[in-house]
Amino acid sequence: MLMQKLQRFLYGRYGTDPLNLALLILGVVCSLLGSLFFRPLYLLTDLLLVFVLFRSFSKNIPARQRENQAFLKVWLPVKNWFRFQAQKFSQRKDYKYFRCPSCKQQLRAPRGRGNIQVTCQKCHHVFLTKT
Ligand SMILES: [Zn+2]
């Protein structure tokens, strides 16, 4: 009985998405900073939580998807940059990363090969570099 009512209530609702997760994480950060440094941040935490609940239970799914797409348009390049930095760091002993002097394309070459001639795959510029 209760489960059926809950299912009926949740039917057609938006649910959660990466934007809601980011807002929740931001809420936790605001809560921690508010408890340590600046009390009014608690108000921001409450507002974020209310907004997350509003988005989760909203029936206006296209509007929530547009919000999420706008968020992802900003967030994905940031996330990919951090992922690439982590990859560079994990491969730092095996590969040297450098940029093409002509088009600034990010390139990599195996370390320990001495001076090598590199042909950029994007602009076909040929240059020498040390690995
Ligand atoms: Zn290039």
Residues with C-beta atoms within 5 A of ion ligand 1: 100, 102-103, 105, 120, 122-123, 125
Question: Do 72 and 119 belong together in one domain?
Answer: no
Tens of pLDDT, residue by residue over 6-56, are: 899 889 899 899 999 999 999 999 888 888 888 888 888 889 999 999 999
Does residue 107 share a domain with residue 68? no
For all residues of the chain together, what is the average pLDDT?
93
Contact 55, 67 (CB under 8 A): yes
Residues 13 and 42 in one domain: yes
Give CA–CA dist 105/75, Å, rounded. Answer: 22
Counting the structural domains of the chain, the total is: 2
Can you point out the beta strands (E) in 1-131?
Answer: 95-99, 106-110, 115-119, 126-130
If you average pLDDT over residues 90-100, what whole number do you get?
95
Instruction: Indicate whether 86 and 97 sit together in one domain.
Output: no
Looking at the fold, whether 44 and 106 belong to one and the same domain comes out as: no
**Cβ distance 92 to 71 under 8 Å?**
no
79 shares a domain with 99:
no
The predicted pLDDT at position 115 comes to 94
- 82 with 119, same domain: the answer is no
Asked if pLDDT for residue 131 goes beyond 90, the answer is no
Q: How far is the CA of 77 from the centre of ligand 1 (A)?
A: 21
The pLDDT tens digits of the residues spanning 65-82 come to 999 999 999 999 999 999
Range of the domain at 110: 93-131
